[in-house]
Structure 1
């Protein structure tokens, strides 16, 4: 990574998305095929974004909420509780990919969500593509196999496997 990219990465800010970012979120929803706009209600802690500090440009976003409507594989996992979390809708604009912004976004969102909740619980996600398994694995997510041994994209981040991003 170049020095300028390191500086940009270190100054990027992760924070809750609000109605103030509605226009940027709508644009990203179109290109990502997600619908994060629905989570921009006031007083929710589901939708998060990573911002370029000098321009406050939204570089990417994700959502995180309770894992209460998920696959049987996740719901039957031994670490799953009513307070377990589900990470989804992760999107980084193409010009900011492969520069560390996605990892920074995800690790800070998980850490901040654990702080807001007052406890740490397992985090789940569904990796739609094989190359995403490798990406999420850098943070500590592990694949969950069904009882037949097949992998359907479900992954878990156990508390002791979390690889935090340096602040």
Structure 2
């Protein structure tokens, strides 16, 4: 019983979270090679309405128009690069899900590694500071005890180490 419910829940979750490919049957090209290229290009292009989906996954009317435009350009004989360049010239670099590496996108590409490096440096510095503080406290604590306090500490430690004293 529990197994059946669990299986049903997992199946429902898998169905509901699966990406809904938005390419309508009338958009599909007859040539499988061109259709494969169109799908690959569509996966690289951002839906300008949804912004975090490719045009291949989006149901927005603009995404459909872009999918049709990509297929029209491929049928006309454009290469993949020419199709991308055409869409970038028309809609800007934002249409690309993965921006090109150029001087004006350098900040985008460098931000991740720089943030990772800064985080690692901060962790190393924090660990060094913590270990220095810990060693300073240990040496400073024992150096500041008077002779009477050291004797009392020694007696307490010896008393604690004697079996039967709990």
Looking at both structures, which has the greater relative contact order when contacts are Cα pairs under 8 Å and sequence separation is at least 6? Answer: 1
TM-score, normalised relative to structure 2: 0.22
TM-score, normalised relative to structure 1: 0.22
Higher helix share: 2
Greater radius of gyration (CA): 2
Higher strand share: 1
